[in-house]
Amino acid sequence: MAKTPHKLLVLSTPVGPLGTGLGGGVELTLFNMAQVLEQRGYSLTVLAPQGSKLPPLAIDTLPGALQDTAQSQGRQTPITLPPQSVLAAMCETARQRQSQFDAIVNFAYDWLPFFLTPFFEIPIFHFVSMGSLNDGMDEVVQKAVQSHPQRVTFYTRTQAATFGLDDHQGLYIPSGLDLSLYDFCDRPGTPLAWVGRIAPEKGLEDAVAAIGETGDEMTVWGVMQCPDYWDEIRQRYPQAKVTYGGFLPTEALQTALGQCRGLVMTSKWVEAFGNVAIEALACGVPVVSYRRGGPAEIIRDGETGWLVDPDSVAGLVAGIEKLPQLSRLACRQQAEAEYSLAAMGDRLEQWLSQSSPTQELCH
Ligand code: UDP
């Protein structure tokens, strides 16, 4: 049986420097993975775009042009790389340095590292961080799964199914959190929270429409990825009591989020996971979400949140009104039982140890 790789070269997302939030939830997932694996004796070298900062993580930064985000592309959009591509530089560096490592762990949701799977001399493990968005990307993900199913992981089954991989034989790795960084808050204020990149796939307009009906106040935290989208929502719902709280580091975010009586999640796409859902639960904050994608696998309907019909503002309103029925302690307890860093570490170690060719032949 092959030995578990312990010296890992990690490829970060090429859509933004780590720490800016442009990469979305994958930044937190990568950070938490690095923390827990380092605690368990692995050594990690992270390659990421210039400007990346995520202390105490040591990062080797590379200059170069960022990739466009996959969600801004169409299904048929050809795969592109800009001149001076940072993703190409990351892959080239991985090729040059591969003999110093046991394996590569790829967090880039992009065509090139998947395509290069058979070109590397050491194993490459892929952590797929989004659902299916582009046909060319689907092809290379499916190919990587066909050749080494155990080396490709998804957050959730719903996410894998978007690639037509309903019967994926590899492991699923839901995210995990360092729960010591998230305080349980049993005495919230009255406002609601909405947390995420401010971008159309997140459906912020539905949450704003819902609070327009319930009369609640709501604070929005996250990277202002599409300012025009935000302005358009503000103009459409001028009476809604919505405030933008900025993009906060985890410590400040969890304090502010913990003081809210509920988190509203309104994704229009199949959210691969939804880190903000487990961050809310960790603070004792129940979640009202569309029954779609990752949040539908995370939230226990009627216990730690309310799952409502996708795209139904009336459903959101009903869920918000029923928030007082839920126990905040149950939310924290679910986070502790299912989404601890230790639980994530166990899943990651299992993933990295399952790479022997013999096991793969079984599938
Ligand atoms: N986030 C943050 N500060 C903020 C708002 C959001 O650090 O003020 C982070 C949050 O912790 C989460 C990420 O932004 O890790 C959003 O990730 P999610 O998986 O919910 O969605 P994605 O952006 O990947 O679609």
pLDDT digits (tens, 9 = 90+) for 149-183: 999 999 999 999 999 999 998 999 999 999 999 99
Mean pLDDT over 105-118 rounds to 98
Contact 263, 195 (CB under 8 A): yes
Q: What's the gap in Å between 21 CA and the centre of ligand 1?
A: 7
Q: Token digits for 232?
A: 């358009």
Mean pLDDT over 252-269 rounds to 98
Residue ranges of E strands in 119-169: 124-128, 152-154
Instruction: Name every residue whose Cβ is closer than 8 Å to that of residue 72 and which is 6 or more positions away in sequence.
Output: none
Rounded to whole angstroms, the Cα distance separating 357 from 246 reads 47
Rounded to whole angstroms, the Cα distance separating 332 from 185 reads 9
Contact 12, 108 (CB under 8 A): yes
Render pLDDT for 39-79 as a digit per residue (tens, 0 to 9).
999 999 999 999 999 999 999 999 999 999 999 889 999 99
Looking at residue 292, its pLDDT comes to: 98
Phi, psi of 149 (to 5 degrees): -55, -35
Alpha helices (H) along 6-134 = 26-39, 86-97, 111-115
- pLDDT band for 2, please (50, 70, 90 cuts): low
Render pLDDT for 331-360 as a digit per residue (tens, 0 to 9).
999 999 999 999 999 999 999 997 644 344
Element holding 275 (H helix, E strand): helix 275-283
- Distance in Å from the first CA to the final CA of the chain: 16
Q: Which of 89-93, 187-191, 291-295, 344-348 has the weakest average pLDDT?
A: 187-191
Render pLDDT for 78-97 as a digit per residue (tens, 0 to 9).
999 999 999 999 999 999 99
Rounded to whole angstroms, the Cα distance separating 169 from 145 reads 9
CATH class of 7-176+341-352: alpha beta
Q: What's the gap in Å between 201 CA and the centre of ligand 1?
A: 13
Q: Angle, nearest 10°, between helix axes 227-236 and 204-214? A: 20
pLDDT at 200 over 70: yes
Pick the CATH number of 179-338 from 3.90.79.10, 3.90.1150.10, 3.40.50.2000, 3.40.50.720: 3.40.50.2000
Residues having CB closer than 6 A to ligand 1 are 21, 24-25, 28, 195-197, 221-222, 247-248, 250, 253, 273-276, 279
- pLDDT band for 3, please (50, 70, 90 cuts): confident
Render pLDDT for 100-110 as a digit per residue (tens, 0 to 9).
999 999 999 99
Mean pLDDT over 120-146 rounds to 97
- Supply the mean pLDDT for the chain: 95
Prediction pTM value? 0.96
| One fold for 7-176+341-352 and 179-338 | yes
Rounded to whole angstroms, the Cα distance separating 307 from 158 reads 15
pLDDT at 137 over 60: yes
**Going by CA atoms, what residue is nearest to atom 23 of ligand 1?**
24
Looking at residue 354, its pLDDT comes to: 78
**Going by CA atoms, what residue is nearest to atom 3 of ligand 1?**
248
**Going by CA atoms, what residue is nearest to atom 18 of ligand 1?**
25
The position carrying tokens 């947390």 is: 195
**Candidate of 18, 28, 265, 270 to mutate for ligand 1, largest count of ligand atoms within 8 Å of Cβ:** 28
Question: How big is the CA angle at 52 (ends 14 and 19), to the nearest 5 degrees?
Answer: 95
Exposure class string for 189-217: b at 16+ Cβ within 10 A, else e: eebbbbbbbbbbbbbbbbbbbbbbeeebe
pLDDT at 277 over 70: yes
Question: How big is the CA angle at 235 (ends 72 and 308), to the nearest 5 degrees?
Answer: 65
Contact 28, 175 (CB under 8 A): yes
- pLDDT band for 126, please (50, 70, 90 cuts): very high
Looking at residue 355, its pLDDT comes to: 62
Q: What's the gap in Å between 226 CA and the centre of ligand 1?
A: 15
Q: What's the gap in Å between 196 CA and the centre of ligand 1?
A: 5
Q: What's the gap in Å between 39 CA and the centre of ligand 1?
A: 24
Looking at residue 359, its pLDDT comes to: 41
**Domain ranges (residues) in the chain:** 7-176+341-352, 179-338
The position carrying tokens 């490709």 is: 152
Closest among 72, 111, 70, 68 to 91, alpha carbons compared = 111
**Candidate of 276, 279, 283 to mutate for ligand 1, largest count of ligand atoms within 8 Å of Cβ:** 276
Looking at residue 228, its pLDDT comes to: 98
What is the atom index within ligand 1 of the atom nearest the CA of 26?
24
Q: What percent of the chain has pLDDT over 70?
A: 97
Mean pLDDT over 276-284 rounds to 98
Q: What percent of the chain has pLDDT over 90?
A: 94
